[in-house]
Amino acid sequence: MTKATVIERILIATASITLALALGALIVAAVGYDPVLFVYSLLYGAIGNVSNIAFTLRQSTMLILAGVAVAVAFRAGVFNIGVQGQFVVGGFATAVTILVLAPILPGGLIGGLLLVVVTTVAGILAGGAYGALPGMMKAYADANEVITTIMLNFIATGVVFFFVDQFLRPAGAAAPNTEQFPDYVSLPSVLFQSSSFSVIGFGVALATAVGVYFVMTRTRFGYDLVTSGHQEEAAAYSGVDPQRTIVSTMAFSGMIAGLTGSLFAIMILGYYSDPSTFPTYGFDAIAVSLLAANNPIAVVPSGILFGGLDAGQQYIGFTLDMPSELVDGIVGLVVLFVATPELFRIAGLRAGFGGEDE
């Protein structure tokens, strides 16, 4: 993408969101609904009351984590479209280890804490391994990672459904769900009275964003990763093994996606289910990361913004006679506009703003 200053990027992000929302409102009006009610409901659903805010933060937690996973890969010049699949596999590993270990380990607070930590590590490792797979395919067989990761998403969803449906569904259960996790395997919901959101989860997301930012700016690994994204040849001359960097980048990105899956299983679900019914955090995270110019810190506000859109969308789906799928389309428009900074630059030039460069 063309180079842009921080201010230009913020302007482009704001313009993209505004333009996409305006187009969305226009479409709402065109098919005969009330656009003002649409925008109002979107806002009310996101921040209208305490429970709506809790829901926004819950979605933000997932989107920030998944967004950081996407950003890590994009920074290194690799397109990880497979965050959804890595998220599904990570959550599955966590769910399976909880169901296997819970009867063996002691219960209560200590046992719960131990289980959460151990099974989250399992989720992170599984997600990392599933991310390393397309990394190896790209590094050693030159297989286009956009396509392999999308195929691996389909495969993860199908295979995990197969296991849940055939082996983990309790006898006599109608739905393809595993048993509930024990009560003590959960995150306490400190501030908000919500069974599916914990401030601790949000804290984990923030800590991950900051941690990854430090890894990428202050460590050798991060330096190699970013240089091979920007300057592949320079990286190779300075002794970076490009193949190994691709594999480790994808593994790193997959690990964060796996962590997202663990948190989803423990904090939100409390059991595991058919992955084709899960929210598409992994895809929405692409929009989150692009809007944040693939900067892990900027992913935080971007994730909160999209978390709010998500919460608003759910609210519209529940309360209004208006197809909430429109919001998914709006997210797509945001991605399209963010991909086209040139459009805004030229529009800016025409309007007479900041035309000194070019």
Partner 1 sequence: MSIAHEVADRRVTIGGVVAALLVLVIGSSVWDLPLVDILTVGAVQRTLRAATPIALAAIGGLYAEKSGVFNIGLEGFMIFGAFIAAAAAWIVSGGGTVTQAHLWVGVVTATLACALLTVVFAVLTVRFEANQIVAGLAVWFIALGFAPFSSIVLWDGVSSPSLPNIATLTVPGLSSLPVVGPILFDISPLVVLTVIVTAVAWVGLYRTRYGYWVQAAGENPEALDTAGVNVNRVRFAAVILSGALAGLAGATLSVGFAGGFTGSGVTMVDGRGWIAITAYLFANYNPIGAFAASVLFGGMDALQVQLQTVGISLPSSLTGLFPYVAVLVVLVLVGRTRMPAAAGEPYDTED
Binding site for partner 1 (CB under 8 A): 1-2, 31, 79, 81, 137, 141-144, 146-148, 150-152, 154-155, 158-159, 161-162, 165-166, 276, 283, 286-287, 290, 323, 325-333, 335-336, 338-340, 342-343, 346
Helix axes 50-75, 281-291, angle to 10 degrees: 70
Q: Which two tokens stand for residue 167?
A: 């082996």
Q: Is the Cβ of residue 1 or residue 191 nearer to partner 1 in the bound state?
A: 1
Minimum CB separation of residue 112 from partner 1 in Å reads 33
Backbone phi and psi for residue 353, each to the nearest 5 degrees, phi listed first? -95, 140
Q: Is the Cβ of residue 202 or residue 345 nearer to partner 1 in the bound state?
A: 345
Q: Is the Cβ of residue 81 or residue 187 nearer to partner 1 in the bound state?
A: 81
Minimum CB separation of residue 292 from partner 1 in Å reads 13
CB count within 10 Å of CB 17 equals 21
Q: Give the separation between CA 213 and CA 273, rounded to whole angstroms.
A: 33
Q: What angle do CA 11, 23, 65 make, to 5 degrees?
A: 55
Q: What angle do CA 82, 157, 304 make, to 5 degrees?
A: 55
Backbone phi and psi for residue 131, each to the nearest 5 degrees, phi listed first? -75, -30
Q: Is the Cβ of residue 143 or residue 200 nearer to partner 1 in the bound state?
A: 143
Minimum CB separation of residue 140 from partner 1 in Å reads 9
Minimum CB separation of residue 165 from partner 1 in Å reads 7
For residue 331, give the amino acid letter: V
Q: Is the Cβ of residue 114 or residue 151 nearer to partner 1 in the bound state?
A: 151
Q: Is the Cβ of residue 101 or residue 155 nearer to partner 1 in the bound state?
A: 155
Q: Which two tokens stand for residue 267?
A: 């904090």
Chain-centre distance of CA 277, in angstroms? 16
Minimum CB separation of residue 290 from partner 1 in Å reads 6
Q: How far is CA 56 from CA 5, 39, 192, 217, in A?
A: 30, 16, 12, 29
Minimum CB separation of residue 42 from partner 1 in Å reads 14
